[in-house]
């Protein structure tokens, strides 16, 4: 439970982020929501940081124009202190093989179900289950989004949870992103 003071701080943060510009006229490869690695002036890096917004052009000081969702959310960062955080590839080959075998066996026993299955997505979701991930459903459907990997870019990156954590995982390139 958050007490009143913590609620107040959360409100302040939400309001501050809501007032940030959501696009910028400065040259910048990042957009709101992008996941970055932030390196502070002592050379310490932080993962899983998101871009929340941009400083209004006439308020930019010392080239700091990108706001992040970390503890100093009100203190904008320079472009040079950010690096895009690329998703990692999930080591799931054995689980995919196992899921494929189970899937083929199922198809053999239920030939009429062929149309419901896909050779990539179905074995991958089976593999995720074997690895302990559960698909997050909304109204009974998977939650999908575009894969952030530029070369892949397919729109079937799927939301999963494992324990307290949530991930998007792409059945095509097997890239997995830790969301929260």
Return residues touching Zn ion (CB under 5 A). Answer: 147, 149, 152, 170, 172-173
| 9 vs 89 by CB, closer to Zn ion | 89
Other Cβ atoms within 10 Å of 157 Cβ, number: 25
State how far the Cα of 77 lies from the Cα of 46, in Å rounded to an integer.
Answer: 13
State how far the Cα of 89 lies from the Cα of 175, in Å rounded to an integer.
Answer: 4
Nearest to 124 by CA among 145, 144, 91, 100: 100
| 24 vs 156 by CB, closer to Zn ion | 156
CB of 153 to Zn ion, least distance (A): 7
CB of 89 to Zn ion, least distance (A): 10
| 68 vs 173 by CB, closer to Zn ion | 173
Phi and psi of 13, rounded to 5°?
Answer: -65, -45
| 65 vs 160 by CB, closer to Zn ion | 160
State how far the Cα of 4 lies from the Cα of 83, in Å rounded to an integer.
Answer: 36
CB of 146 to Zn ion, least distance (A): 9
CB of 170 to Zn ion, least distance (A): 3
């Amino acid at each position: 439970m958050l007490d009143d003071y913590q609620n107040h701080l959360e409100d302040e943060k939400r309001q501050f982020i809501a007032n940030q510009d959501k696009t910028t006229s400065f040259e910048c490869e990042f957009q709101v929501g992008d996941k970055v690695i932030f390196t502070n002036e002592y050379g310490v890096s932080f993962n899983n940081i998101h871009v929340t917004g941009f400083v209004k052009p006439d308020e930019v000081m010392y080239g700091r124009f990108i706001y992040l969702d970390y503890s100093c959310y009100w203190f904008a960062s320079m472009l040079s202190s950010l690096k895009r955080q690329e998703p990692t590839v999930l080591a799931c080959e054995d689980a995919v093989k196992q899921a494929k075998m189970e899937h083929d066996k199922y198809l053999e026993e239920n030939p009429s179900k062929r149309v419901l299955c896909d050779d990539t997505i179905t074995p991958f979701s089976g593999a995720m289950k074997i690895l302990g991930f559960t698909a997050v459903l909304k109204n009974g459907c998977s939650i999908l989004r575009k894969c952030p990997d530029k070369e892949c870019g397919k729109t079937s990156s799927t939301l999963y949870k494992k324990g307290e954590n949530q991930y998007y995982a792409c059945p095509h390139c097997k890239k997995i992103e830790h969301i929260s």
